[in-house]
Amino acid sequence: MVEFRVFQSTKKIILQAKMFTSILRNSYNTNRVAFNAIRSFSTAQKPINVNSLVVEKTKQPLPKFTDKNKLIFGKEFSDHMLEIEWDINNGWSAPKISAYHNLSLPPSASVFHYAIECFEGMKAYKDKEGKVRLFRPMENMKRFATSAERLCLPSFDKEAVIELIKKLVLLDQDWIPEGKGYSLYLRPTLIATQKSLGVSASNSALMFVIASPVGPYYPEGFKPVRLLADDRFIRAWVGGSGAFKLGSNYAPTIFPQLDAAKKGYSQVLWLLNDYVTEVGTMNMFVLWKNNQGELELITPPLTDGTILPGVTRDSILKLAQQWGEFKVSEKNFTMSELAKAIKEGRVKEAFGAGTAAIVSPIKSINYKGEEYPIPIDAAKGAGPLTSRIADTIMGIQYGEIPSEWSVVLN
């Protein structure tokens, strides 16, 4: 094509790419879409009613884990699950907690064909006094609701779903392994169940919550990871759906992740035309000395719809702002900028952030065939800020540090 001739060198192409991406990313905010306005449901529809909850306790308790140190993430599930059905004529049916069981769905259900599905990841913790706690559950519910709106799935009373999750957790509280770092992972999920192959908004849906006992992400201290910045794949793009927790954001990442693993890297560092966006299934943070010589914690902003608004991400930003010890910025940065800063010794720490690990320290990034090492405290396996964040958030989660973020259930 004729436009090729305009450019003289690869360097210039990259520069153009950055310029364009920058414009696109910065301009997106202004014409943002009001996703919640698209589908109006009848006011006759029933909302979720906590008082109509039906609890059918299991008659065949599942074999519980005998060694909490052998738990594998998301493999074992607790005795019970929560289900709430929805259809466009009647709204939400009576919530039900019953024995963990298979779902029975017609093969035509749209969840199997068009990936109309979204989910959340959150945890229940048992503190030293045996009290059960959740961490910022309303943040998960808010995001769950926006994901549902993005898929034209029904809205719901967020408080009601939290109440129902609390009841499930309390019923299965023996499934929360004891000890710091252990928890019961909760997976609220919403799937489209419409029995039709037409590509359209679903007129029926099922919300369910399952619970899986999990051990600490790092049972023996941090294990810093090596990343592959693979520019062949883009996780999310401006005008796509990367800001929502949809199943559809995950399927295409399996291949790049497996490819990175085969090459000896733990995770993919996702780039968008050289801009750093996320790491594996986590948000990305860097502590560096910026070009102005200031110590600064940076993470990409939520403005252009390519970044998942992580609850851990938000918590880290709020904590760091409270500490007030260094600059805290949500801003775009490129892998080229990051590579340059690493070479100049300006990068102090880098880590991923998410519910599963809280923080996952990064020890190096492979970018265009070159390895960029990031400082790590060899004894701890993480830098001081990374450790401090992990300690603080865990302290809050297990009730050792008083905070509104930790919600006691009993």
Chain length of the chain: 410
Complex with a copy of itself: residue 73 or 89, whichever CB lies closer: 73
Q: Which two tokens stand for residue 328?
A: 């805290």
Nearest CB to a copy of itself, comparing residues 191 and 396: 191
Residues 6+ apart with CB under 8 A from 358: 217, 312, 389, 390, 393, 394
Cβ burial, residue 249 (10 Å; 0-12/13-18/19+): buried
Closest CB to a copy of itself among residues 17, 401? 17
CA distance 186 to 168: 10
The span from the CA of 24 to the CA of 306, in Å, is 11
Structure tokens at 331: 């801003």
Region class of 261: left (phi > 0), else alpha (psi between -120 and 50), else beta: alpha
Nearer to a copy of itself, 244 or 405 (CB): 244
| Least separation in angstroms between CB 355 and a copy of itself | 12
* Residue type for position 289: K
Nearer to a copy of itself by Cβ, of 275 and 405: the residue is 275
User: Which lies closer to a copy of itself via its Cβ, residue 34 or residue 44?
Assistant: 34
Select 324 or 369, whichever has its Cβ closest to a copy of itself. 369
Least distance from a copy of itself to the Cβ atom of residue 408, Å: 26
In sequence order, what E strands does 157-224 have?
183-192, 204-214
Identity of the residue numbered 267: Q
Pick the closer one to a copy of itself by CB: 194 or 406: 194
- Token digits for 406? 């930790």
Q: Minimum Å distance from CB 330 to a copy of itself?
A: 13
Structure token pair of residue 340: 């340059």
**Nearer Cβ to a copy of itself (107/402):** 107
DSSP state of 61: P
Between helix 137-150 and helix 311-323 the angle, nearest 10°, is 130
Residue 323 CB, nearest approach to a copy of itself (Å):
27
379 SS3 class = coil
Torsion of the alpha carbons at 125, 269, 383 and 245, rounded to the nearest 10:
-20
Per DSSP, the three-state class of 4 is helix
CB of 16 to a copy of itself, least distance (A): 5
Of 372, 371, 381, 361, nearest in space to 287 by CA: 361
Rounded to a whole number of angstroms, the minimum distance from the CB of residue 304 to a copy of itself is 12
Strand partners, 292: none
Three-state secondary-structure class, residue 300 = coil
Give the nearest distance from C-beta 252 to a copy of itself in angstroms: 4
Q: Shortest approach of a copy of itself to residue 322 CB, angstroms?
A: 28
- Report in angstroms the alpha-carbon separations of 181 from 64, 74, 125, 184, 254: 19, 15, 8, 10, 27
Whole-number minimum distance, CB 363 to a copy of itself, in Å? 22
Minimum gap (Å) between residue 66 Cβ and a copy of itself: 19
Is the CB of 337 or the CB of 349 nearer to a copy of itself? Answer: 337
> What is the Cα–Cα distance from 164 to 161, expressed in whole angstroms?
5
Neighbours of 378 (CB within 10 A): 8
